[in-house]
Amino acid sequence: MKIGGQSVKIFKMKNRKGYAAICDDHLTEGITQNQALERMEKAVNRTMKKLLKQKKK
């Protein structure tokens, strides 16, 4: 899977319930794979907005 051209890896966590997603120094967790991916999208969007805001200054 990809978000904004960046690869996302989703895997089942062994020591917890649910799934985790890793992408571009972000780690998110969710009960389902879709929830982990949705949370990753939000995290990446927050970071991108922050970077764009810094570039404008």
35 vs 52: CA distance, rounded Å: 26
Residue 1: the pLDDT is: 79
Residue 28: the pLDDT is: 96
7 vs 24: CA distance, rounded Å: 8
Q: Where are the domains of the chain?
A: 2-56
Strands (E), the chain: 2-3, 6-7, 9-12, 19-23, 26-30
Residue segments in the chain with a per-residue pLDDT below the cut of 50: none
Q: What is the pLDDT of residues 35-50, one digit of tens each?
A: 999 999 999 999 999 9
Burial degree of 40 (CB within 10 A; 0-12, 13-18, 19+): buried
Considering only CA atoms, which of 10, 3, 4 is closest in space to residue 32?
A: 10
Residue 4: the pLDDT is: 77
Residue 55: the pLDDT is: 85
Residue 5: the pLDDT is: 82
Against a cut of 0.75, is the pTM above it? Answer: yes
